[in-house]
Every structure is written in structure tokens, then in C-alpha cells.
A and B are shown apart, each in its own frame.
Chain A
Amino acid sequence: MQAALPTMNSPRAVQQELERVGYFADLGLATAIFLSVSLGKPLLLEGEPGVGKTEAAHALAAITGRELIRLQCYEGLEAAQSLYEWNYPKQLLQMRLGAGETAALSDIYTHDFLLERPLLRALRQAEGAIILIDEIDRADAEFEAFLLEFLGDFQITIPELGTISASVPPIAVLTSNRTRDLHDALKRRCAYHWIDMPDPELELRIIKARAPGLQADAAAALVEAVSRVRSLPLSRQPGISESVEWAMSAMALERSGEDWPTALRLSLGLLVKEQEDLAHVMCEADLLPGSMA
């Protein structure tokens, strides 16, 4: 069973809808979202940190009107934290209250005693949900295997309770920073898209939208500076979120009285977050825009 997005029947329509909520996607990402929903496959977004993978899921939730349920992955994540857990204190109390009578299975293993974690909540959502499984590369191989089962049928079996399946299958979005190779089995099940750093025109539009009040020529100079910074051999490339933060913090400093070039220089730490990289960028004197306001 596939989810349907009634208002979007082509990748370009998806692109326009995303733009309406303030997320600027290129045609590739819009096609990926469209295909993942139409084919009924989870969407796996990979890319460098800061290119907008998590924001894509938020934007998708905004345009579909579905609730976004987020599961942050980490090493050692288990079913108890991601799927469900029994409410043990409540169960103990119930058993004490009913002491003397044989506690039947149905007494303490019911929905009242079930603590729903993100994945189960996504299944039970009546209007359908978007489940964001963030940074799946931080989880370990056991969790991936468990997730594969979940993403296959969107149904789980709780031993004491039975099988719970989704009335409306959720749309699953997985993100990865590629610090680890994911299992082929998981990748095969998903529609895969690698998000590159945006090209300058797209980045200019994003900065203009996220940092209103920044003048056009200052924004253009900022974007050019960021592309020059990215061409340097840094240990960590700044992403879009970093360039937006740089613009906004420089504007905040300018409002408090600094002139524009100084504001840019002082807030450089929001663009480049490693000490050696910062030193490298500071050496390149002509990198930062001159007096523009």
C-alpha cells in the first residue's frame, strides 16, 4: 500500500510546494521525494553534515500536513528505546492490587501498559505520519537489521500482545552523514539520494530567504566568500546551515554597532568550526568581502 500525496503529481510540483514552505530543493531531491512516496519506498538521504537532510524531512511534513516523528539514532539504540517498552511500575502495582487472583496475561499486557516510542507512534498514527530516522549511520548493525524488518512491512509483533500494523503506512525518511557504510540490504530497500553542497545560485536564494534584511550585494558577496572557503583544503567543509548562521550572526553584530567587514570577521567561528581551519581561513586575507553593507 502506498501513501499518496494528492497535491503533488510530479517532481516539479513537489519542488514548488517545498519552496512555498521555505525549503529550496534542486530537481534531484524533489524527484527523490516524489519517487519515494510514489513507489512506497523509504527515502535515504546521504550527504555531508549541514546540507539540509533533516530539514528536508521537516519540509516534507509541512507540505503533506502529516506529523513529523523523529528518532535520533546512536550506538546501542535498541527496540526498547525506539519501538516500545512496558510500563513496569504500573504493571507491578497492578499485580499487587490483584494479588490473590491469578494475574492473567491480558491484565498487565495491554495497551494501557505500553509506552510507545517513536517507531510505534508512527505506526499507530491514524492520519499517517512522517518518521524521520536521523543519523542512522550512528546506530550499529543490529539496529539496522531490526529496522529492515520494520521498514519492510510496517508492522511489528509484540509477543505478549500480537501484531500491530499501520493503517496508513508512514513515510520514512532516513538520514546519514556517511561516517559508516550502511548495509546493502537497507540501501536496496530505500530510494537513495546523495545531497551535494548547493551551487551558488541556490545558496543565494536560501540565504535571502533565511536571512531577510540582508542586502542583495552583501548576500552575493557572502555566498562567493563561502564558495571560496569551500575550495580550501579544510578538515570540515561548511554546510548551508553554517553559511546561514554566519549571515545571521554578522547581521546581529552589525545591528549592535559593528561595521560589516568586522562583523563578518568576528562571526567567522560560526562558519568554520575547527581551530586549524579557522587559522587557515584567516590567513587568506582576500577571502572575506571588503566594505559592503
Chain B
Amino acid sequence: MSMRAEQHLNGFLDALAHAGLAMSPIRRSDFLRAMTLTDLLSVEDLYWTGRITTVSRVEDIDTYDQIFSVWFKDGKTVLEETVEQTDESESDQPPEMSTSGDAPSVECDDGTGQQASPDELLTNRRLPQTGPDKREICRRIARKAATVLPRQRARRLARSPQHGVLDMRRVVSHLRRSDGEIIDLFYRKRPLRLRRVLMLIDVSGSLKTTSPDALRCAHALMQAAPQMEVFTFGTRLTRVTRTLARGDIDDALQRLSDVIYDFDGGTRIGPSFEAFLGENRLQTLARGALVIVVSDGLERGDISAMQGATERLARLAHRLVWLTPLMGDPAFRPETRGLKAVLGAIDRLGNAATLGALCDEISGLDAQVERRARRGVASRWMRPVPVSGRPDDTKNTGRVL
């Protein structure tokens, strides 16, 4: 390989590293070795050879494509030089980090403004400090959660002192000491472990006062549940698990304002849920998990997307709990189209008006959230109420909704 071609290739690798792809020395040497092994008959061969040795995630493919088209636009010149000599001995050592060949300049066009959506108002927001009484409630949530969160059996067997499946390997290796006489038996069983918890928090304008408390509750739950994921949605879906995984609640809340851009914006529940369910990896987060949605269900426009997505979420989840701040009002009835549409799919409709209410909901999880209560949720809210207002007047009844 000529010096110029090698420099160009090294420059290409440096550009990839700069763009965020992991470029270890082993990967670089694999790339160069692959170049010598394949007959590079066309730019396409070069493209594939490079991609297979340098890209290891689907998300990086677009980045690779962009950088490739910049570096190998006039593919022919580089190709001829690369194919000239194939020197086996050179390729075994990782290349030195020499100064790369001249990188072709990347020209940036002026933006066309088409990316900006007219619907989104991207705002940041400072969240208020957490007072001592709220901190106390958070501590209570964390303590309670450890006992009430649902569990499932792990798939792996672990040593168990008393009962379970016989651990034959240990039994047999002990038998050697006693000449084949079985004296001790050892067991393994599948331990119970906490299910994953997934929280979807609505941060749009209609929940302006409640969303900070919901985020505090999520933070408290994270201390108790090892596998927890938290997402916020408004006009877009944002994953905030990492940001919330900090020790101090106020520290976490301050950092949230850097990550969440659709605070106090509009509400697009259906599209946000569909974005969540559209990705395979995010869908796995909901499978078999306890899913808690904190939202008032006030969806703009067509609710069919929200209904479909919530039903899918309910089928994936172990339990689906919907908490709305509007239930703080004792006379509340789910009258919006959105909430009425999802009633048949959820396992519990609860109160998210204050942090204390959230704490009570969490504490009551095992008692009040049962799968067979699913139909009960809808029928409870659709119960006929006597027209005259007296509960014992069974003759004159009218449906509430």
C-alpha cells in the first residue's frame, strides 16, 4: 500500500473516531488487514469492507455513510493506490497515529429551516427546591417500595439452603468424600427478584404543578427498585433514567432541565407512546414490568393513537397503573375522551395530585392493583348513579357517563 493511500485511510479512521465511533488499535489493524485481504474492485467493496470492520452499532451506520462519502467521493484515485501493492508484513502492526493526510473539507449548507417544527416550543425550566417535608415523603416512598413492588422468579438457579431443585453437581462432588453414600443434599432454586419498573411522566403544560413531584417520586423509587427506567413525554419522548440516578434529588432535578426540552409544552400522548413502542429495545423495557403513567390524559386531537398504544402497553406490561392529578378532586369523574378510552386497559386509576397522594398510591400497589381488577376499573367508573341523588333509589337510575 502506498504511503499516500495509507495516510488517507488513517485519516479516514481518525475522522470516524472523531465522530464518535470506537476506534481501538485492534479495530484499526483489522480495518487495514481487511483492505489487503479483499480485492477492492469498486467503491462498493471499499464501503462494505470498511463498514464491517469499523461499525458495530446500527446507529453509527449513518455517521459512517456521511464520513465515507466525504473521504471517498472520488473513490477511483484512492482505490488505485490502495490496490497497487499488498504488503502483508505491514498490515500486522497497528498503524502509528501519524498526522493524517489532508482531509477534504466538509462544506456546511445553510439550513433550510425545514427541521424546525411549528408545533414545539422548546423550553427549559428551573425546578423548585425540595423542602424537608417532601424529602421525608420521598424517603417513605423508598422504604415502602421495597416491600410492595411486584416480584417475579429469576430464570437462573441460585444456591438455596433448604428446598428447590437438587444441585446434582455439588451432590456428586461431595459424594466422593463419603465413598458414594449420600449424606448431604444440596439444592438450588430460582430466587424472587423485583420486577422492572417503568415510569412515563407527562411534563406538558397541563401538569405544570405536578410533574416535579412525579419526578421526585420517580427518584425515590429508583433507590428501591434496581431496574427502573424513567421517561418523560410531552411533545417528544425523553429518557431521563441516567439523569435521575443521582444521589441528591435537587441535583438530579437541576440536571433534568438540561435534558428535557418540552417542559410545559403541548401534549401528544399517542405519538409519544407510539415512539416508545416503535423501538424494539424500548419495548423490552415494558415487557413484564410494572408500568406507571403519570398524566391527565388530556390529548389534543385524535385519541385513537393513544388508545391503541395504551392497549399495547397494557398487553406488554405486568401491570399498568395510570395516575392523574385530577383525582385530587373528590368529585372527579373520568370524562375526557382520552381517559375514557384507556379505562378498559389499565389496572388502576389513581391520584397523582400531590407527593403525599403518590406515596399512598405506591404503598397501596400490592393491595389494590390486581390484573382481574382490569374490568373492575372501567365498570367502577361507569356505575349507574341514581338520578335523584339518593344511593338507595334503585328505580330511577341513569348512567353517569
Which A positions have Cβ atoms within 8 angstroms of B? 10-12, 27-28, 31-32, 34-36, 38-39, 41, 44, 46, 74-76, 78, 80, 86, 88, 91-92, 95-96, 98-100, 102-103, 105, 108, 140, 142, 177-181, 184, 187-188, 190-194, 235, 276
Contacts and interface: CB of A to CB of B under 8 A. Distances in A.
Contacts of A178: 58, 280-281
Of B154, B171, B179, chain A has the most CB atoms within 10 Å of the CB of B179
Interface of B: 22, 24, 26-27, 30, 33-34, 37-39, 41, 44-45, 48-49, 51-53, 55-58, 61, 154-157, 168-169, 171-172, 175-176, 179-180, 277, 280-281, 283-284, 308, 312
Interface of B is mostly: helix
B49 A27 contact: no
A252 to B, nearest CB: 32
A100 B49 contact: no
Contacts of B179: 95, 99-100, 102-103
A75 B284 CA distance: 13
B249 to A, nearest CB: 28
B30 A39 contact: yes
Contacts of B156: 76, 78, 140, 142
A190 B27 CA distance: 10
A235 B274 CA distance: 9
B45 A95 contact: no
Contacts of B180: 92, 95-96, 98-99, 103
A117 to B, nearest CB: 14
Contact of B176 (A10, A32, A78, A103): A103
A179 B58 CA distance: 13
16 contacts: A11-B48, A12-B41, A31-B45, A32-B48, A86-B168, A88-B168, A95-B175, A95-B179, A96-B180, A100-B179, A140-B155, A179-B283, A180-B284, A188-B22, A192-B55, A235-B277
A95 B281 contact: no
Nearest to A99: B180
Contacts of A38: 34, 37
B374 to A, nearest CB: 19
Given A95-B179, A103-B179, A180-B284, A46 B58 contact: yes
Contact of A191 (B26, B52, B57, B168): B52
Contacts of B33: 39
